[in-house]
Amino acid sequence: MRPLRFFLTAKHWQVFLLLFGAMVAGQITLMTLMFRAEPIRDVTALRAIALPFFAVTYAVAVLLLAWLWTLGEYCASRVPVELKPRIVRFRSTLIYPLAYLPVFGWVFPTLLDNPSVALVIVPLHFLATFCMIYNLYFVAKSLVLAERQKPLSFSNFALEFFFLWFFPLGIWLVQPRINRLAAK
């Protein structure tokens, strides 16, 4: 798989506008829909409102995961073979949240009628959360490994991890480093 070149060469403000702008535009659209909607009386009405919400959430998740995928793949390719992280695990943890989100979007409205569904959905939700945290961990570690070219402990890349976690802020600090790596 080849990373998306745009995310390697884009300036921090471009990535910020794409990711954060998509989130804000989606939220404005959803708030508009909610103010125009009828009161929720049953699962069908909830699903009518939830469908656009999950569609916007999915679109933003695709953009965010595409950015993380590009950064992770590219940075891992710049790491010496003896330090190279396991890319297969990273790829699978990128795919799971994308597969899980539509399932959650479909099942969520049924929680009102059938709370026992939570016994299934909660562990799946925790797994999706773990996958997202692992993706941040992988990208942060790969970035610092690509820059330093030597073994690391978590304390060496913890700051990058938290920058990525709070990605609207982290974009401004991580993306210029990606641009410098891609320019070499």
Q: Answer whether residue 161 shows pLDDT above 80.
A: yes
Question: Domain map of the chain by residue range?
Answer: 5-183
- Residue 2's pLDDT is 55
Q: Answer whether residue 122 shows pLDDT above 80.
A: yes
CB 37 within 8 A of CB 48: yes
Averaged pLDDT for residues 101-119 = 80
What are 3's two structure tokens?
Answer: 């990373």
Q: What phi, psi does 153 have (nearest 5°)?
A: -110, 170
Chain centroid, CA 70 distance in Å? 12
Chain centroid, CA 103 distance in Å? 17
- Residue 13 CA: distances (Å) to CA of 60, 70, 93, 95: 17, 17, 27, 27
- Residue 1's pLDDT is 46
Q: Answer whether residue 36 shows pLDDT above 80.
A: no
DSSP string, 101-163: HHHHHHHGGGGTT-GGGHHHHHHHHHHHHHHHHHHHHHHHHHHHHHHH-S---HHHHHHHHHH
Chain centroid, CA 96 distance in Å? 11
- Residue 39's pLDDT is 65
pTM of the model: 0.86
